[in-house]
Structure 1
């Protein structure tokens, strides 16, 4: 036992101070040792040794021994943390048996070897990949599930091309994910690839807790049938029993898609709404997109100070917005100080 400890100490010293040539030669020596497994097990508690095992020794072992050692290396979960960069960890994926990859899919999909993991499964075909991806959406962390969507469906450098059917299976699982971000990303992808899926249950998705899901559903609805979507959004906006977040999204969607003349009467009602968040959302729309006198004048009577302030700025007689009923120097209507000065210099008519 003492001799083994000494050997491990000697190996650690070489790993810490040796050249790359020395480390490669060391790997060849250990790979040829009859009792190498016990020696390798003794190195596993040391981070620098694990890095060397992954980066050098695995490639020098026979396939069966490498698979066994890769399994032991995977047990050190901290080496595979997604926030940790390490160019040696993907080597473990190369040697793990497929049964282990499938069993560990939920963990690996959220680790720093996620890309290598999906690349290896891709080589086996979608018959292996899709069930693994579904298992990630069932048991993986939110980060693992979101990373899976990005790597399998959004990565521009990926050689993987899923069929529409396989894409649909993944997105259907993701759209029912409990995490808002995962569900939102899925909804945005579905809006591009299969909008009917959102239209089919529009009432559900426009009331979803995720703002990304709600806005994706409204985008599909308004681009498909603006008249029906306008009516649905207005009904939801006026439903006092509906979730406030859903009503706010309905208001934003109406502001995004309706022209100002059509939106102005509703906007004039919302800037004086008793709910502060809805009224301030309406005030923001008035300021940024829909400057119109009817809404600006209504905003001046709002019970909320932030909305009244917007109205005051828009309706200012010298510095306001002509579109909202205010004026500025040189504006065609309202008070124009330069025009008044010109009038003072004109001669009276005979």
Structure 2
């Protein structure tokens, strides 16, 4: 006999269950992290836009990558912050699907941008004579549009199938965001077709971008090792180290999370920690990796800070 189960139109996040005092502490910590993340990424975007020395393909893609990080963390953190202050952490079904779409779409955009950025480094190091003619402003714009469009369109099919599912009580979701694994666990009837479609779409995108990125760096490393100049090798490696660091952090967590069937309810606590890392911490450290290891960006930042200080001194003198 079938159990009577109530259809639900909202979910309750379990989040990170702690005492109310610790919830306030967590709120302040994540508020600081979110504020720093926005500031860092906005600074990089402004530097690339206003500093003519950074009007190069690599920095154009980095500024787009910063914009993705702003959207990616903003799809998660504001809701997380509000939940720290709420006794009951609820989200409507529509809000859940919207968050899921934005979260997955921006994650997909980030995957494609990492592949495009690796192609940019491949052209710069392996095909330097053709780099300027191939990676011109028109091509960079086309590639950027391709990244954004691919990410937001690729996720439409999985989200459409998920939106057709029905969800039954209990409506408690063991997570702090709407994600596929905890969402599938709350369906009235598990749909293997929907889960397979979501798994296939995410796996194809993640693995294809990952393979293209790895192939680019295999050619890059081979070219660098065959470079006779020690200085040339060091310079080439330094320009790629930051990108490789971001790639390792991003794909290490994303592949573990999504390139596997979404049926491991027992692993949801670990999923929460990993999701917290790549949705909150990674957007914070990405700008630090790019800026601290890049002389052009640090030079542009010092120039901008020096210009603001000089402007401030001139304003003070005028007031005197």
Same fold (TM over 0.5): no
Q: Which has the larger radius of gyration?
A: 1
User: Which TM bucket (shorter chain)?
Assistant: under 0.3
Greater share of helix: 2
Q: Give TM-score, length-normalised by structure 2.
A: 0.20
Q: Which has the higher contact order (CA 8 A, sep 6+)?
A: 2
